Amino acid sequence: MIRVAILGATGYAGAELVRILSSHPEAELSYLASHSYAGKRFSDIYPGMKGVCDAELMEDDISKASEAADVVFLSLPAGLASSMVSEDLLSKCVVIDLGADFRLHSQAVYEKWYRTEHHSPSLLAEAVYGLPELHRSEIVGRRLIANPGCYTTCSILTLHPLLKAGLVEKDGIIIDAKSGTSGAGRGEKLSSLFCEVDESIKPYGVATHRHTPEIEQELSLSAGNGIVVQFTPHLVPMNRGILSVCYARLKDGVGDDDVAEAYAIYSGEPFIRLIDGLPETRFVKGTNMVDISWRIDRRTGNIIAMGAIDNLVKGAAGQAVQNMNIALGLDESTGLAKGAGCPF
């Protein structure tokens, strides 16, 4: 059995990790930590897990976690993981960071967008960006995996085939994305209160959202040259889910068959569905699936590519488990749901 530790186990992404790994046939939860709730049982915080996970929560001590586990998941605020992870730690366990500290290749870009110091820049080259559909072979056997952000996972996978095949212009790409409130985390914030969110929708992080450089980094690799995108996220009054609607100008002569051929790159991907209809977040809720579709607007010459994920599963915990499975040589689907928990 794979011994697993989770630091930040009571946040939304950490709790989703506990839920998924509790039924993973090859894993056992050996160390659950929460600075806010140390000494309490996990099921005291999440009563729905009573009888499933009643483990006592420890302090966020990565040294103890590395001694107790083969894989350590970090679900912590920006800046903390880079202060904890070291070469010595990586000699003891695999680290999968659900935060942003190892996603960006450049220390300067990270510090500019996150406005915090990166404490272990020497490890940036060690880390692999854990988007399996793009970097599967690089993930195998790696010790440090940077789990992608939720908006980024949805947006990158939706646009990647078009840029990889060279079907769209690299300039003028617009990503209009919407997320449920769990994307803001479990911490108490005025802007996340029910009365502040319900019956409303609002943009935020306009021209400043921290996922922007991550999207540009990976789409630039897809295109083979530098890509700049206009990314605008929105908060919608639902618990979970992300919908990315992406606009790009098609190159002259590109037709439906060319687009279909480009997206065929995802044939055989266990967690990507190319659908004829339009994606809806309710049909991926609770799963590690990505639903993608597209439409060509002949009037404007644009393609509208659309993707939907569950931000806590494929956008966080589920993808982290998928990365663990790949890194350790398991079938990547092990322990991960494909069909939606509720089909309507």
Does the annotation count 150 as an active-site position? yes
Helix/strand/coil (H, E, C) string of 282-295?
Answer: HHCCCCCCEEEEEE
* Residue found under tokens 């806010």: 36
Q: How many angstroms separate the Cα of 92 from the Cα of each of 99, 126, 170, 272?
A: 20, 15, 42, 33
* C-alpha span between 210 and 45 (Å, rounded): 29
- C-alpha dihedral over 168, 169, 172, 175, to 10 degrees? 20
Q: Could you say which DSSP state residue 227 is in?
A: -
As a whole number of angstroms, the distance between CA 297 and CA 263 comes to 18
Q: Which of 150, 154, 246, 342 is catalytic?
A: 150
How far apart CA 154 and CA 9 sit, in angstroms, is 24
What CA dihedral angle connects 343, 332, 153 and 210, to 10 degrees? 130
Which residues does residue 302 pair with via DSSP β-bridges, in sequence order?
249, 297
Of 242, 249, 100, 248, residue with least CA distance to 177: 242
Give the active site residues: 150
